Every structure is written in structure tokens, then in C-alpha cells.
Structure 1
Amino acid sequence: MILKKIKLNNIRSYEDVEIELTGGSTLLWGDIGAGKTSILLAIEFALFGLQPGQRGGMLLKNGKEEGGVKIDFEIDEKYIEIERTLKRGKSISQDYSSITIDGEKKEISVSELKTQVLELLNYPKEFSKKQNLLYRFTVYTPQEEMKQIILQDSNTRLNTLRHVFGVDKYKKIIENITIIATKIRERKRLKEGMIANLESDKQVLQGKKENLKLKNIRLSQIEGELLLKTDSREKLEKEKKEIELQMQEKNKLQQEIEKTKILISTKEQLIFDNKKSTEQLKNQIQESSSIIFDESQILDLDKQLNSINLNKSTFAEKNLEINSEIHALNLKNQENENTKNKVTRLDMCPTCLQDVDSVYKSNVANQLDTDISQNSNRVKELTLEKQDINKKLLFFEQEVTEVQKKISELNLAKVKLEGIKEKQIRVEGLEKQTTSLLGDIQILASQMDSLKDSIFDLSKYDNLFQTKQIELREARQQERMTEISVAELKKEIHMFSLQIEEFKKRIEKTEEIKQKLIYLTNLETWISKKFTPIIAHIEKNVMIKLKLEFSELFAQWFSMLVSDNFNVHLSDDFSPIIEQQDYEIDYAYLSGGERTAIALAYRLSLNQVINSLLSKIKTKDLVILDEPTDGFSDQQLDKMRDILQQLNLAQLIIVSHEQKIEGFVENVIKLQKENGLSRKE
């Protein structure tokens, strides 16, 4: 990484300044308070933004609402420009941020920009959410801050260096392992509680298995009893069915008796009916024998009836003619009346359109009245004639009725005479049928006596049926009770089987938990007795190696700066140990130059150790030294030339107010402050 240019706008004592930087060594020179450190703080702000605990008021110029920093640099042949601004509100906060890589600009959030810068610098990800310790200890350490780490308590210093070295991961591993071990112990206690009843559960399971075995034996016994009772019940049912068949046979015989009784009763009724019919037929034959019948009488009456009907038809036709004539005359009178009324009201002839005088109308009316009178008289005559005809028709009707009655009486006598022979045949048939029915009744009576004897023989099964029914009811009850016992026992066996399966599963799960407990116990033992000591040993060895390397470099750099007979090295907590003539000298009793030399040597050796560990970071060839010669003697200043040459960096920026340093560097940027404003000369 090579810084190319930085532009400050309203940053601390600067209003608007642009400073170009080159590779090699560069000196930012100026009197105390000229604004040298402000440039270094601006570089850090441009790269990483405000740090936790850092206030914007430390950077934004007093009285200004806005300010910002723009920095240009190169990494792996990429030209990068970063811009950050500050804005004053209720507090001073970061406002705008952007990054341009090879001309492609992106405006992104503050946190996104910091993440991208760390990626460009190839800093480990664990440094993304913490202060820029890696940058502070490898590139730029503010004035007095390195002395601060030397003076810190040992635990704070060790934790800081662990983090910078990346060794704190071992401590984190141990802390995490401790947490894991605690969790494992908690899980062990939980699982120990879960398997506490394992042995008692096994005993209960064994007891239930033995109980189940006994119940299965008992079930076999009861099922054997059930089989015997079922056979007994089936035998009784068979016997009962045979008795029922005999009783059904008895019922059939009783039904046959009833049928026979009905047949006898029916035949007796037929005999009674035949006798009655025979008597009636004989009486009818006797009555019909006294009837005298002459066929010529019917013929004479038929002739007489035809003659009456002929006369009746003649008068009926005459009556119809009279009715027609009366109707025609009535219609004629109605027409005459209508014509008369029309003529009487007529004033003008509709044909010739001449007036009709009253004489003409009177003549016409008289003529019409004459016709009406003649017609009415004729109607009266016809009405009288019609009345005479109706009387004759009524007389003829009465004669027809009398003649027809006589003909019917003669025909009835004829039928009676003709039915005597038929009735005699029927009487003979009925008498034969009666004789046959009497014989049938004798046979049926004999058959009924035989059926009664059979029924008497089958009556013994009635009491036997009742006995078998009682025995069968008791057998069924016994069988049902045994079935219930079998069902209950099977249910108990099923429940026991379920309980046994449940216990087996529970014991199986508990055994699994026991195995897991064994695993956790072994794991805890391995973690506590093997893994943790190994990690602690690794950390110790790493720290020892780093301390040795660090201590050796520290002694080398210090020996180059201080010519006196000092012996320096680092303690186990990385505290500088200064010895002179076998006496340890407290840091506080050193001169100002010697303290600065201690801090610079510590700073340079720390830089080398970190860059050696993190060889791929892009800032390993960049170092910024802030007043590294504070309190140095002329002799120590002269030795800075060797120090700077020994560093052999791609870019070295030194902040100092010592003019003598100008001769040690390749480039000099002079700064001065006038009227509270810093500027470049």
C-alpha cells in the first residue's frame, strides 16, 4: 500500500489543504502545534472512519458545519480514492462516504466502506468490529500511545497483544471450551437424572414379563374351558333343535287336524246346502207341473203388439207434422209483426226515395194483421188436434205395456216348464254328491282320530323342550361368562404387552441416554484433561516464541538507539525489563530520550513481529512514526539514520519537529500554522 494524496477540508486546524505523498521516506516537519498529527489522524479517519469512543469533534474544525477527508492510495496496482465527510448536528457524525477503484465510484454506507477497506488491506475479519489495533500497531501509533501500552497493567497489555498477534483465539478457545464443558456437565446432570430409574425400570419390566407369562398360561386354561363349554352348548343346541323338529311335526299334525275339521265342517255344510237345494228344486218341480202353456197365445200377443206399435208410429208422425206446422206459423207471425213495425216507422221509401203516406202504411198494416189473425187461428186448430193425438199415443203406450206383461208371463211359464227336467237332473246330482260327502266325512273322521293319536305320542317333547331350553340358557350363560373372562384376560395381556413395549422403548431410550452420558463423560474428561491443556500449552509455546522473537528484536532496536551499557528484554507479560550492570532499572527512572527509545524499539519490534505473523496484509511496507525522537540526544538522532535505513520500507512517513531528521529522508513536507490555520509551505 502506497499513500498518494490526502485532501483535508475543515479538519482540525486545516481549512482546505491537499498534500501529495510519494514512496520512500517522507518527513512531515513543523513546529509543535503546526498540524502534523492532524494529517495522520485524517489518514486514519479516511481509511477507517470514526473509531469506538472517538468523537467527531476531535476532527471537525470548530465553528464549521461540515468537513471531510479524501485520500488516494495504491494497492496491487489498483488506484483507490476514499472520501468521508463529517456533519455537525445535535452531535458530529459521519455523513457521506464513497470509494473509487480504478475510476469506478460507489457511494456506500460507513460500515460497508470500513468492511471493504479491511478487505483491500487484507486484514483478518476479526478486526472488522474492533478498534484499529492492527493499523495502530503496524502502521501508525499516535504519539504517547506506545508508551501507554508499556505502562499498562500486565493483563490489559497481554490481552491487547493476544488480539494483535491473533493468539487470543487460543484464549477464546479455552473460554469456549470452558463454556462447553459447563454445558456438558449440565447435560450430564440432566442425563444422570434421566437414567436414575433405569435399573428399577428393568426390574419392573422383568416383573411384568413374568406376570404376562402367567397370564398367557391362565389364558390357555380358560380358552380350554371355553372350548368345552362351547361344545356342551352346541350339543344342547343340537338336541334342542331335534326336539324342536318333533314339536314342529306335532304342530303340523295339529294343523292337519284343524284342516280336517274345516274339511268336515265344509262337507257337512255342503250336505246341508244340498238337502236344502234338493227340497227347493222338488217344490219348484211340483209347482211347475201344474202350469198350462199354449205357444199360440204368445204368437197372438206378438201380432197384437205389432199392430199397436204401428198405430202408435202413425200418430207419432202426425204429431211431428203438427208441431212443425205450428212452429212455422209462429215464425210467420213474428216476421209479420217485425214488418209491420218497420212500415209504421218508415217515412221515406229506401228504394225510390219517395215519401210514404199514412194510408199506404195503414193498408200494409191491415193486411199484415189479417195474415197474423189467420195464422193464429190455424195454430189454435192444430193445438187442439195435437192434444187428441197425445191422448191416443198415451192409450197405445198403456196397451203395449199390458201386452208385453202378458208375453213375459207366458215366457216365464214356458221357461218353468222347460226347467223341470233340468231340475230333476240337478236333484239326482245333489243326492249323489251328498252320499259321497257322507263317505268323505267318515274317512276324514277316521284320519283325524289317527292324527290325535300321533299328537298324543309327540306331547312328551313339550316338557323335554322346556328342560333343554333351561339347560341351554345355563350353558350359554356359562359360555358367555367364560368368553368375558377370556376377553378381560386378553385385554389385560394386551395392556401388559403395551406396557412392556413402552418400558422396552423407555429403557432403550434410557440406554441410549446412558451411552450419550458415557460419551459426554469421556468428552468432558478429554476436554478437561487433554484438549484444554493442549490448547494452553500451544498458546504458551506460541506466546513464548513470540516473546522470544519480540524480545530479541526489541533488544536489537534498543541497542541501536542507546549506546550505554543497557541490557533489555521482555518479561513473560511482555513488559520491558531494563537492566544495567545486573541491576533492574524502573522505566520511570529513565531519561526522556531513553523512554522514547524504549517506546520506539517496542514499536518497531512489534511491527516486525506482526508483519511476520500476518505476511499477507497490504500495509506491511508502510510505517508512520509520530514524533519518534522526542527527547533524543544528538547522538540518538544520528542513530535514527541507521534505524530508518534498517527498516527498508516502501513508504515511511515521519512526523517530527527536529530539523536534523531532514537529512535522513528523501522527501520533506513543511507545515506551519498562522492565525490558527495550518498550511503547507
Structure 2
Amino acid sequence: MQLKRLVLRNIRSYTDAAIDFPQGSVLLAGDIGSGKSTILLAVEFALFGIKASELPGSSLLRHGKREGSVELVFSIDGRDILIKRVLKQAANGIVQDAGYLIRDGVKKDATPKELRALVFEILGYPKDLVGKSKDLIYRYTVYTPQEAMKEILTAKKEERLDILRRVFNVDKYKRIRENSVIVLGALKERRKELEGFSANLPEKKREREELEEEQRGIAGRIAELQPALGEARKMAREKAAALEKAEKEAREAQLLRRELAGLEARMGAILEQRKRNAAELERTAKEILVLENETQGRDIADHAKGIMERMSALQSKEKELRAVHQSVSSLLTKKEQSEDTARKVMTLDDCPLCRQRVAHSHKETIAADEARKQKEWDSLLVKEKQRESEITGAMGALQKEADELRKRQGEAAALRVKLQTLGRRRQDRMLKEGEQESLKKEIGQISVRKLDLILQLGQKKAAEEGYQSAKEEVEKARGKEQKAELEHLGMKKELEGVQRLLAVIGKDIREKSGAVEKLKRLRGVHEWLSAFFMNLMLTMERHVMLQINKEFSELFRNWFSTLMEDEMLSVRLDDEFTPLIEQDGYETSIDNLSGGEKTSVALSYRLALNRVINDVVAEIKTRDILMLDEPTDGFSTEQLDKVREVLETLRIGQVIIVSHEAKIESFVDNVIRIAKQDHVSRVVV
């Protein structure tokens, strides 16, 4: 892994900055507090996210800002990978928001936890460390804050061993032993359960033998009862068959009685019907006699034609009368007009057309002419009046004749109705007489059938009397059968109860026998775990730790001798990885060393730990990068010169050093300068 580019937005003292990382050794130079260490913390945040105890969000997001982000580009095996994480201010504090990762040109949006898992996969870190709060491998191979390294040197040996076990992934042996203790405890409890469960196995086997003996006895009694039960069933069937026959005869007799009762009821109904029919025939005969007297010798001719002829003649006369009235009206009008003309002429002096004076003689001529016309019209009026009188008389005669014919027509219609009624009454009489004859025949048939039924009932009387005794015998036989059945059923129930108990006990015995077998296996497993496996894990852990300790101690001494040329001062590790310091042939505490000597011990321990972890955890992809935060604190000028030798010896593709020592600039490949102004850090180009 090598860093290529880092973009910071609102992270601590940075508002908006981008840093490009070259290969080789790189110095982040700047004054104390300029923001150099922030860059290393931002790289760690981009890879693993915030950590409540070591890298909380409140220590990263710039004060007064609601959102910030880090975007990191790094390469693994020649492939560029971009990861971006976001911080934002929320109601419950500063939290991580969703980010994304771009690999091989494919962008994947992910939650903070998903990004962490992806980074572990890319870096080749053990998956079982994903859920841990500390990124131990990264912290002790790539970037360790100086104070964190001093903490591991001064920590209690148990704490230091625990940290190193986790870093080297050797704590799995301890976890295996601890889990084995838990398993042994569980096995012990399980053994107690199985021992308690199977303790009464012999008693259960004896109980099963007793139940099997009881089962055989019940089965024998059931076999002895079978003949008596069969005989009772046979007797019950025979008696039931006899009862069925008697019951059939009784049912037939009952049906005969019902039929006889029905015939008697029918006979009564027929006699009553004949009585009603006789009365009806008598009434009908009287009605026929009356109708015959009323219709005999009466005229029933149809006068409709005569009525129509009279009415037609009346219509013609009415037409003539209207013509006479019109003629009279016309004559009267002409007469009035003539009289009016004569009066006007006699009073006229001048002609209204020619305006000439009218002579008196001319007036008299016109008046005489009008008088002649009036006389003619009077003569015509007299004739029309005579004609009107004749027509009116003829119409009266025709109306009288039509009324007479209508009267005769009504009488003939009433007579025809009576004749129709007479025909119906004669038909009714004939039907009633036929019905009476049919009823008479049916009476004879019923009488014959009644006699036959009485004879049949006499024959079935004996069967009816035997039905009751057959019924009593069936009930007695069924009682015996039921008693035998109940006794047989009771024995079967008893046998089934014993068989159920045998099944339960058999299952219990099988389970307890299985428990005994399990108990044997558990004892073997318990003995193997306690006597062999746990000792094996302890031996393996010691062996691995001894191998690591040997390599670690040698590297620790080599790095320290490189940094410190004082032959009177040497270091080594004890079996528990505690640094032992000898000065002038005597062991001394690290607290008695100078600042530069303490830093040399811490840096040597750090570099040795880096190499050992990279050797032990073979799959990790962070071997080619190292970050050193103020690694020369308290160094003398001579010791600073030794840093050049350290960098050359490391042979790591990318080493990033945070330091304010100007001398280091002379032996690194690249320098990135950081400056801070008005509380804002920036990269100085």
C-alpha cells in the first residue's frame, strides 16, 4: 500500500486542502501545531472511521462546521483505490455519514461499517479484527502516535502481553484455552445431567420385565374369553334375525290396518258425496223445468237487420230535413234583401254610380219588380214548410218502428241466455248422474278390499303376538353380548395401558442407554481436552511467542545499536517482551534514561515491532508504508544523523515522517511544508 492523494474539508485546522504523496521518504515539515499530525490522523480516519476512545469525531470535525470529509487515494498492487468518509453534526453529537469506495472504476456506496470491512479485505487484515475498536495491526505497523508507543513500553507486562498477542494474532491460543475451560465446564455439567438421568436404568429394566409378564397374562385371559364372546355374538345375531322377521310381519299388519282405516274413511266420504250429489240433482231438475216453461214456443229471431234499415231511413230523412231548412233559410234571406232594396230605392234621389238624378217612375218599376220576386219566394216558402212537415212525420214513424224492433231484440237475447243456461243445467245433471254411478261402483270395490284386508289381518295376528316375545329375547341376548364385549374391551384397554407403559419405559430405557453411551464419549472428550488439548495450545502459544520474541529481541537490539553508539548502554527483551536496559553492566529503568535515549528505545521497539508483524501476518498489504510521528523527539545532532541510516536500512517504498527538525530535510526524498495562519492550515507550494 502507498498513499497518493489526500483531500481534507473542514477537518481540524484544515478548511479545504489537498496533499499529493510521492514515493520514497516524505517529510511533513512545519512548526509545532501547524497541522502535520492531522494529516496522519485523517489518513487513519479515511481507512477505518472514527473510534470513540482513540479517534472520536469531535477531535476531527472543525469547530463551528456542520459537515466535513476526507477523501483518500491509495494504491494496492498497482491498482488505485479511492475512499471517502463524511462527518456531520447531528442531534446526538458528531457522527459518520455514508461514504463510498471506488475500485477498478466501480463506485460502491456504503455505510461506515461496510467501508471498514471493505478496507480490512483490501489491506489483508484478519477478518476477526473488523469488529474490534482498535486497529492494532495498522497502529503497530503503519502509524503509531509517539505517546501510544511509549504507553506500550511502560504498561504492565500483562497488558503489554495482551496487546502483543492480539497484534501477532496469537491471542487465539489464549481464547482457545479459555473456550476450552468453558467447554470443560459445560461437559462437566452435561456429565452430571447424564449421570443423574441414567442412574435408575437397572430399575427401569426390571420394571419393563414385570410389565411384559403382566402383558402375557392379560393376553392369555383375552384368548380364554374369545369363545364365550363368539357364542354371545352368534346368539344375538340369530335372535336379531328372528326379531327382524317378526318385525316385518308386524309392519305389514300395521300397513294393512292403515289401509283398512283409509278405506273406511274413503267409504264415508263417498257416501257423503253421493248424498250431496242427490240433493244437487234435485235442485238441477227443478231449474230445468222452470227454464223449459219459460222458453217453450218463444220467438228468438234476430231483428238487427230491421233496426239497421229503420236507422238508415231515419238518417236519409234527417238529410232531407237539413236540405229543407237550408232552402227556407236561403229564401228568407233573399226576401229580406229584396224588401231592403225596395225601401232604399224609394228613398234614393241620386244614383251612387253615375251621380244622375233617379226618376220616380224608375223607382216604382224597381219596387214592382222586387214585389214580384217576394211573392214568388213566399210561394216557395209555403211549399218547403209542407215538405218539412211531411218529413218530420215520416221520421217519427220510422223511430217508433225502430224502438219496437229494439224491444223485441232485447227479449230474444234474454231468451237465448235462458236457453244456454238450460243446456248447461242438463249437462250438469248428466255429469252428476255419471259421478253417482262411478261412486256406486267404487263403494263395491272398497267393500271387497275391506273384506280381503280383514282376512289378511286375521292371518297375521299370531305373528304380531310373537313380536313382543322375540323383542324380549333379542334384548336378553344383546345384554349377554354387551356384557361379554365390555369384559373383552376392559381387558383390551388394560392390555393397551400396559403396552403404552412398555412403550414409554422402552423409550426411556433407550434414551438412558443412549445417555450412558454419550457419557462414555463425554468422559473421553473431557479427558482429551483437559489432559492433552489445552496443554497443546499452551505449548503452541509459547513456541510461537518464543519465536517472535527471539526475532523481536534481535531486531530491537539492532535498531537501538544503530541509533545509540554508546557501548555502555544496551537493550534486550525478556520472555514477556518487556524491554530490559543495561547501563554500565547494570539493569536500569527506562525512567532513568534521557529524553533522546527514551525516544531511541521507543523508536527501536516500534521499528522492530513493525518488521515482526509484517513477517508473522503474511497476508497484510501495508508492508510498503511506514508513518513516523515526531520520531526524533529529544535526539541529539548525532542521533539525527542516524535517522538517515535507519531510512536506508528500512527499504520501504514510502516512509512519511512528521517532524519539525529541519535537519531531516537533508536526507529525505521529498518535503511537504505545512503552514498555519489565522487558525487555518494549508500546504505551502
- The answer to whether the superposition gives a TM-score over 0.5 is yes
1:628 alignment partner AA: P
Correspondence for 2:162 among 153, 159, 162: 159
- 1:611 match: 614
Specify the alignment match of 2:560 in structure 1.
558
SS in 1 for 2:623: coil
What's the CA shift for 1:360? 9.4
Residues 1:493 and 1:60: Cα distance change in structure 2 (over 3 Å): closer
- 1:28 corresponds to 2:28: yes
Q: How does 1:526-537 map to 2 (within 5 A)?
A: 526-537=528-539
Paired residue type of 1:125:
K
Q: How does 1:331-346 map to 2 (within 5 A)?
A: none
Structure 2 counterpart of 1:488, which letter? Answer: G
Instruction: Look up the match of 2:639.
Output: 636
| Secondary structure at the counterpart of residue 87 of structure 1 | strand
Superimposed CA distance per residue, residues 152-192 of structure 1 (whole angstroms, 9 cap, x where no aligned partner): 22222222222111112222223333333333344444444
Give the deviation of 1:643 after TM superposition: 1.8
- The within-5 A match list for 1:150-549 is 150-223=153-226, 481=483, 484-549=486-551
The residue type equivalent to 1:215 in the other structure is: I
- Could you say which residue in structure 2 is the equivalent of 1:135? 138
Q: Is the 8 A contact 1:27 1:667 kept in 2?
A: yes
Aligned to 1:82: 83
Output aligned runs, 1:666-681, within 5 Å: 666-678=669-681, 679-680=683-684
Q: CA deviation at 1:591?
A: 1.7
Task: Give the aligned residue type for 2:78.
Answer: E
- The structure-2 alpha-carbon separation of the partners of 1:222 and 1:630, relative to structure 1 and needing over 3 Å to count, comes to same
Return the letter of the residue paired with 1:489: M
Counterpart position of 2:6: 6
Larger Rg: 1
Query: Cα 1:504–1:664, aligned 2, differ >3 Å: closer, same or farther?
Result: same
The alpha carbon displacement at 1:672 in A equals: 3.8
Distance 1:472 1:103 in 2: 99
Correspondence for 1:585: 588
Distance 1:228 1:147, change over 3 A: same
Partner of 2:634: helix, strand, or coil? coil
Could you list the per-position Cα deviations for residues 243-286 of structure 1 after superposition, in whole angstroms to 9, with x for gaps in the alignment?
A: xxxxxxxxxxxxxxxxxxxxxxxxxxxxxxxxxxxxxxxxxxxx
- Deviation string 1:360-399 (CA, Å, 9 cap, x unpaired) is 989x99xx9xxx9xxxxxxxxxxxxxxxxxxxxxxxxxxx
SS of the aligned residue for 1:4 comes to strand
| 8 Å Cα contact 1:347-1:355 kept in structure 2 | no
Name 1:574's counterpart in structure 2: 577
Secondary structure, counterpart of 1:144 in structure 2: helix
Verify the 8 A CA contact 1:625 1:655 in the aligned structure 2. Answer: yes
* Post-superposition offset of 1:106: 4.6
Q: Is the contact made by 2:321 and 2:388 (CA closer than 8 Å) also made in structure 1?
A: no
Q: Is the 1:565–1:581 Cα contact (8 Å) retained in structure 2?
A: yes
- 1:531-572 superposed Cα distances (whole Å, 9 cap, x missing partner): 222222222222222222222221222222223334432233
Q: Given residue 536 of structure 1, which amino acid in structure 2 is its aligned partner?
A: L
User: Is the Cα–Cα contact under 8 Å of residues 348 and 355 in structure 1 kept in the other structure?
Assistant: no
Q: CA deviation at 1:505?
A: 2.3
Q: Secondary structure at the match of 1:597?
A: helix
The answer to which of 144-153 and 87-96 deviates more is 87-96
Q: 1:57 to 1:496 in 2, by over 3 A?
A: closer
Report the counterpart of residue 57 of structure 1 in structure 2.
58
The alpha carbon displacement at 1:482 in A equals 5.1
Q: 1:127, 1:134 within 8 Å by CA — same for their partners in 2?
A: no
Structure 1 residues 95, 210: CA separation in 2 closer, same or farther (over 3 Å shift)? Answer: closer
Answer whether contact 2:218 2:495 (CA < 8 A) is retained: yes
Query: Residue type matched to 1:3 in 2?
Result: L
Moved more, 155-164 or 512-521: 512-521
Whole-Å separation in 2 of the counterparts to 1:361 and 1:479: 124
Q: Distance in 2 between matches of 1:95 and 1:644?
A: 38
1:194-223 per-position Cα deviation (integer Å, ceiling 9, x unaligned): 334433222221111111122233334444
Matches of 2:151 and 2:104, distance apart in 1: 40
CA distance in 2, matches of 1:170, 1:552: 24
Say if 1:219 and 1:356 are closer, same or farther in 2 by CA, change over 3 A.
same
The answer to whether the Cα contact below 8 Å between 2:568 and 2:585 also exists between their aligned partners in 1 is no
Contact 1:347-1:356 within 8 A present in 2 as well: no
Q: AA paired with 1:22?
A: P
Q: SS of the residue aligned with 1:619?
A: coil
SS at match of 2:34: coil
> Residue type of the partner of 2:172?
K
Equivalent residues of 1:569, 1:576 under 8 A apart? yes
Contact 2:97/2:111 (<8 A) preserved = no
Asked if the contact 1:208/1:496 (under 8 Å) is kept, the reply is yes
Please report how far the alpha carbon of residue 357 of structure 1 lies from its aligned counterpart in structure 2 after TM superposition: 6.2
CA distance in 1, matches of 2:645, 2:637: 14
Question: Which residue identity lines up with residue 81 of structure 2 in the other structure?
Answer: I
Contact 1:17 1:680 in 2 (8 A): no
- In structure 2, what is the equivalent of residue 72 of structure 1? 73
C-alpha distance in structure 1 between counterparts of 2:489 and 2:620, whole Å: 83
TM-score between both structures, scaled by the size of structure 1: 0.63
- Which stretches in structure 2 are left out of the alignment for 5+ residues? 243-295, 328-382, 402-470
**C-alpha separation between the residues in 2 aligned to 1:644 and 1:181?**
51
Q: Distance in 2 between matches of 1:46 and 1:40?
A: 10
Cα shift at 1:576: 1.1
Q: CA 1:347/1:155 → structure 2, altered by over 3 Å: closer, same or farther?
A: same
Shift, 1:648, TM fit? 0.7
- Aligned partners of 1:635, 1:71: CA distance in 2, in Å? 36
Alpha-carbon deviations, 1:459-480, whole Å to 9, x = none? xxxxxxxxxx999999997776
The Cα shift of 1:136 comes to 0.9
SS at match of 2:31: coil
Quote the Cα distance in structure 1 between the aligned partners of 2:482 and 2:7: 108
Local SS of the residue matching 2:146:
coil
Quickly say closer, same or farther: Cα 1:532–1:357, change in 2 above 3 A: same
**1:663 and 1:481, CA in 2 relative to 1: closer, same or farther beyond 3 A?**
same
CA distance in 2, matches of 1:194, 1:136: 53
Cα gap change, 1:347 to 1:631, in 2 (>3 Å): closer
Q: Give the Cα–Cα distance (whole angstroms) in 2 for the partners of residues 114 and 556 of structure 1.
A: 36
C-alpha contact (below 8 Å) 2:13/2:35 kept by paired residues: yes
Return the offset for 1:107. Answer: 4.5
Letter in 1 for 2:45: F
Aligned position for 2:466: none
SS at match of 1:19: strand
Measure, in 1, the Cα distance between the counterparts of 2:128 and 2:68: 30
Q: CA deviation at 1:651?
A: 0.8
Instruction: Name the CA shift for 1:607/1:230 in 2 (closer, same or farther; >3 Å).
Output: closer
SS at structure 2 position matched to 1:34: coil
CA–CA distance in 2 between the matches of 1:65 and 1:471? 106
Rounded to whole Å, the distance in 2 between the matches of 1:104 and 1:479 is 90
Q: Which of 644, 665, 673 is the matching residue for 2:668? A: 665
Give the Cα separation in 2 of the matches to 1:483 and 1:132: 84
